[in-house]
C-alpha cells in the first residue's frame, strides 16, 4: 500500500471518528446539574469574572480535583456564545486531536499497521464515543493518560529536558481530571527503576527526572495553594477518606481483580461476559503481547502500556467502589494499543489478514455500533429543556432577589441556574445562608414536600407558605413566600 493510499485510509478513519463524536451533538449531549455547575464556573473564567483555583469534588470523600479542566474548555464556551454545547465540543475536539496525534506517534515509533488498527479501535469504541459527547472532567482521561505514558516513553528514549517537563506536566493534568490517574505512577515508577538499573545513561535520566517533578509541581500548584489557604481541607478529607470510610476493599484480591477485569472487558467490547471469559481474554492478550514483544524494536513502549493495564486493574481491585465505565479511562487507549500491536503482527499471515482480522473487526464494530444512541430519531435535548424551564422561572422572578431549590434532593438545579444567571437572575447564595422574600422549588417527583420539607435546601428558607403553583412540562414549580 503506497503512502497516498495509507494517508487516505487514515483520513477516512479520523473523519468517521469526528462524525461519531460530533453528529447531532447538542441534541444528545448530557446537560444535568454537574454540567450546569461546571458551566457556571467556566462562564466566570471565560468572562474574566472569577478565576477558580480548584476543580470539582470527587464523589467519594469530597476531595477536590484541580481546576485544569475548567480552563481547558473555557475558550470553547466563549466560542459558542455561552451555549453549554461549546464545552462538549471542546471535549470532542481534544479527543479527535488526540487520536490524530497518537496515530502519528504510534506510526513513527511503531508501525503503520499498529497505528491504523489503534485508530480503528478507538474510532468505533462506544464507551470512548460516549465519553467524548458530553462535558465532564473524567471524560478526557483516555487522551491525557495515554499522552502522559507516551511522553514518559519519549523522555526515556530521548533523555531530553523538554520531554521531561512535558511528562511531569501531563501527569499532573491527568490527575487533575480524575484521582484514579495517580495509578499511572506505578508503571512509571517500575520502568524508572528498571531504567536506573540497566540504562547506561542513568545519570542523565535521574537528572532529567527532577525536571519532570518541576513540571508536575508547577501545574499542580493551584491545588496546593488552595489547600494551604483553606486549612488543608483536601489533605484532611483525604486522611478521613482512608481512616473512616470504607474505601479499601477487604475482600479476596483474586475475586476483586476478576470483578474489575470483567467490568473493563465488558466496557471495551460492549458485551456481557462472565469473569471467567473476560479473564481469559485478558490472559490471552497479555501472553500474546509478551511473546511478540521479544522481536520488536519498540518493546519498552508496549511494556509500559501493558504494565499500566496490569497495575491499574490490580490497584483498582483494592478500591471499594462501583465500576463505572469512566473509571477505566486511564487504560482504555493503552489496551487498544496492545490489541493493535497484536493485530499488526498477525496481519503478516494470510488467514488472519483476509479472514480472521476482518471478522474480528466487523464483530467489534457491530457490538459497539448497536449502542450508538445518537442515531435515534429524537434526542433528549437537555440543553434546550433546561433553557425553557429557566426562561419560565425567569418570567416569574421579576427584579427581586430569590432562592431556588429542587425536590427531591438528588434532583439538583445547576443546569437551570446556569441559564437564569445568563439572563441576569443570579440566585441568593445558599451556602452563605442568604435568604430572600421568595423561593422557587422545582419538583420532579410527587408528593412534592415543599412546606416543612425534610430537605435543608428548602427548609433553610424558613417558615413558608405556597404562593403559586405551575405545571411546566414534567416539573411542578412552586413559589414559596414567608408566612407572616
pLDDT per residue as tens digits for the range 331-371? 999 999 999 999 999 999 999 999 999 999 999 999 999 99
The average confidence (pLDDT) of the chain is 92
Range name among 2-16, 105-119, 390-404 with the lowest pLDDT average = 2-16
Per-residue pLDDT at 249? 67
Instruction: Quickly tell me which residue has 487522551 as its cell.
Output: 143
Asked whether the beta carbons of 303 and 191 are under 8 A apart, the reply is: yes
| Tens digit of each residue's pLDDT (9 = 90 or more) over 27-42 | 999 999 999 999 999 9
Q: Is the pLDDT of residue 61 over 70?
A: no
pLDDT band, very low/low/confident/very high, at 21 (cuts 50, 70, 90): very high
Percentage above 90 pLDDT, the chain: 76
pTM of the model: 0.94
Question: Is residue 241's pLDDT more than 70?
Answer: no
Kindly indicate the confidence band of residue 143, based on its pLDDT and cuts at 50, 70 and 90: very high
Is residue 242 scored above 70 in pLDDT? no
Residue closest to 238 by CA, chosen among 54, 63, 65, 64: 63
Over residues 185-198, the mean pLDDT reads 91
Report the first-to-last Cα separation within the chain, whole angstroms. 83
pLDDT at 298: 59
Looking at per-residue pLDDT, the higher value among 266 and 291 belongs to 266
Of 269, 375, 252, 275, which Cα lies nearest the Cα of 332?
269
State the burial class of residue 299 (Cβ atoms within 10 Å of its Cβ: 0-12, 13-18, 19+).
middle
Domain range annotation of the chain: 3-374, 382-482
Q: Residue-wise over 215-231: b if at least 16 C-beta within 10 A, else e?
A: bbeebbebbeebbeeee
User: Would you list the DSSP string of 406-423?
Assistant: EESTTS--HHHHHHHHHT
pLDDT digits (tens, 9 = 90+) for 429-448: 998 999 999 999 999 998 99
Question: Cell numbers at residue 35, please?
Answer: 454540567
What pLDDT score does 192 carry? Answer: 92
Using 50, 70 and 90 to split pLDDT, how confident is the model at 297? low
- Looking at the DSSP bridge assignments, the partners of residue 480 are 439, 466
Amino acid at each position: 500500500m503506497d503512502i497516498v493510499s495509507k494517508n487516505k485510509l487514515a483520513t477516512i478513519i479520523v473523519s468517521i471518528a469526528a462524525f461519531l463524536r460530533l453528529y447531532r451533538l447538542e441534541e444528545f449531549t448530557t446537560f444535568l446539574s454537574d454540567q450546569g455547575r461546571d458551566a457556571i464556573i467556566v462562564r466566570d473564567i471565560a468572562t474574566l469574572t472569577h478565576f477558580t483555583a480548584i476543580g470539582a469534588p470527587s464523589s467519594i470523600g469530597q476531595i477536590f480535583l484541580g481546576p485544569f479542566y475548567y480552563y481547558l474548555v473555557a475558550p470553547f464556551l466563549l466560542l459558542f456564545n455561552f451555549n453549554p454545547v461549546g464545552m462538549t465540543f471542546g471535549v470532542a475536539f481534544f479527543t479527535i486531536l488526540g487520536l490524530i496525534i497518537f496515530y502519528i506517534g504510534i506510526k513513527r515509533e511503531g508501525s503503520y499497521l499498529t497505528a491504523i488498527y489503534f485508530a480503528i479501535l478507538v474510532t468505533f469504541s462506544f464507551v470512548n464515543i460516549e465519553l467524548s459527547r458530553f462535558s465532564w472532567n473524567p471524560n478526557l482521561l483516555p487522551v491525557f493518560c495515554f499522552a502522559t505514558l507516551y511522553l514518559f516513553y519519549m523522555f526515556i528514549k530521548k533523555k531530553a529536558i523538554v520531554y521531561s517537563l512535558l511528562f511531569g506536566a501531563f501527569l499532573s493534568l491527568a490527575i487533575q481530571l480524575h484521582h484514579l490517574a495517580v495509578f499511572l505512577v506505578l508503571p512509571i515508577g517500575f520502568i524508572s527503576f528498571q531504567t536506573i538499573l540497566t540504562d547506561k545513561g542513568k545519570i542523565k535520566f535521574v537528572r532529567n527526572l527532577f525536571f519532570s517533578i518541576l513540571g508536575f509541581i508547577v501545574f499542580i500548584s493551584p491545588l496546593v495553594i488552595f489547600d494551604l489557604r483553606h486549612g488543608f481541607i483536601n489533605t484532611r478529607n483525604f486522611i478521613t477518606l482512608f481512616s473512616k470510610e470504607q474505601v479499601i476493599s477487604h475482600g479476596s484480591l483474586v475475586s476483586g481483580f476478576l470483578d474489575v477485569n470483567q467490568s473493563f472487558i465488558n466496557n471495551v467490547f460492549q458485551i456481557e461476559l462472565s469473569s471467567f471469559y473476560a479473564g481469559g481474554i485478558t490472559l490471552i492478550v497479555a501472553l500474546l503481547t509478551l511473546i511478540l514483544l521479544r522481536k520488536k524494536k519498540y518493546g519498552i513502549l508496549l511494556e509500559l502500556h501493558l504494565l499500566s493495564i496490569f497495575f491499574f486493574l490490580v490497584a483498582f481491585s483494592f478500591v471499594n467502589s462501583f465500576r463505572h465505565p469512566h473509571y477505566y479511562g486511564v487504560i482504555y487507549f493503552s489496551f487498544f494499543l496492545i490489541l493493535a500491536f497484536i493485530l499488526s503482527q498477525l496481519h503478516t499471515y494470510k488467514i488472519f489478514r483476509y479472514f480472521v482480522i476482518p471478522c474480528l473487526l466487523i464483530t467489534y464494530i457491530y457490538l459497539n455500533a448497536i449502542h450508538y444512541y445518537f442515531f435515534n430519531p429524537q434526542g433528549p435535548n437537555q440543553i434546550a429543556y433546561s433553557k425553557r424551564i429557566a426562561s419560565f422561572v425567569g418570567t416569574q422572578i421579576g427584579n427581586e432577589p430569590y432562592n431556588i431549590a429542587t425536590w427531591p434532593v438528588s434532583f439538583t438545579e445547576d443546569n437551570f441556574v446556569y441559564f437564569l444567571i445568563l439572563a441576569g437572575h443570579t440566585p441568593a447564595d445558599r451556602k452563605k445562608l442568604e435568604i430572600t422574600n421568595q423561593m422557587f422549588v422545582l419538583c420532579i417527583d410527587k408528593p412534592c414536600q415543599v412546606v416543612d420539607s425534610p430537605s435543608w435546601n428548602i427548609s433553610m428558607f424558613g417558615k413558608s407558605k405556597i404562593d403559586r403553583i405551575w405545571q411546566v412540562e414534567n416539573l411542578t414549580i412552586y413559589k414559596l413566600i414567608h408566612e407572616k
